[in-house]
Amino acid sequence: MAKTSDLRAEKLFSVKDYVCVVTGGGSGIGLMSAQALAANGAKVYITGRRNEALGKAADFHGPTEGGQIIPIGPCDVTKKADLERLHDELASKEKHINLLICAAGISGTKAEPDQEKATSMKDKLWKNETFQQWSETYNTDVSSVYFTTVALLPLLQAGTEIYGHLSASVIVISSMSGIMRESQGHFSYNAAKGGTVHLTKLMSAEFQKIRVRVNSIAPGYFPSEMTTKESGNDQKSQLPNEKVQEKGHVPMGRAGSDGEMAQAVLFLTKNSYVNGEIIAVDGGVLNVVSGR
């Protein structure tokens, strides 16, 4: 039975001495996640395709005390050779990892199905999307999550041997778009994120055999290079309230904050009694837009 003093937030959510890996960690939700973990004592390796972005993220946002944000890579998570290299480099530095966050992703192409005649709708959708674009979106948003997780499973299982049963885990950054029925004009992205949601459930069931948990955060509108198409010199993006309000289906009337994402990340990292869950952090969008 816990003492009251054991239930202080700094004890419940401390990740002191944890070793974490974040793909897509140079910007957006990946960087928010890395900051949350490092601020609470973790050593966080961030990886991605752009060394410059990773370096800037670490320089601007590394904590002054406690944890660390460390660039590693570059790594293209859609390539097995890069993932094998990532594993080997991590294994040369660390005996285990406690957490993998799969945050790398792309938005794919966009074509609004807003025509009232089938011939016009076909023409718009047919011309604006290709099989190759769909494949690229699926490979980056779904397949890479699977292969990244598989590549790092031995290091994750080693983490459970230090911190206890089901303590090591994977957090998949999916999307509210993978839960809703509206296409939002990007069928390929929403379909891929739906695949990511189900992949999370599959991996959670299968990988608990080796004592590794898998959960997912399904974000709504958060400032990132994906949502704003840019970031500043500090690798941070801005998403003004009015841009979110224009969408007409966000009850909070604003984008999510770094702190709100941090709370979700720390909860799933530390609560080993949660496995196979999809947690929407969406400002209430799914109360307005139909989900599945």
Catalytic residues: 174, 189, 193
Q: 235 and 258 in contact (C-beta within 8 Å)?
A: no
Residue type, 188: S
- CA–CA distances in Å: residue 246 to residues 67, 100, 177, 251, 252: 39, 35, 18, 12, 12
* CA atoms of 166 and 209, how far apart (whole Å): 10
* Cα–Cα dist 287/271, whole Å: 26
Helix, strand, or coil (residue 281): strand
Distance CA 134, CA 130 (A): 6
State the amino acid at position 197 in one-letter form: V
Q: How far apart are the first and last CA of the chain?
A: 39
Sort 185 into a burial class: Cβ within 10 Å, 0-12 / 13-18 / 19+: middle
Could you give the residue ranges of the DSSP H alpha helices within the chain? Answer: 9-12, 28-39, 51-61, 80-93, 118-128, 131-138, 144-163, 187-207, 225-228, 241-245, 258-270
Q: Are 176 and 278 in contact (CB under 8 A)?
A: no
| Bond preceding residue 74 cis, omega within 30 of 0 | yes
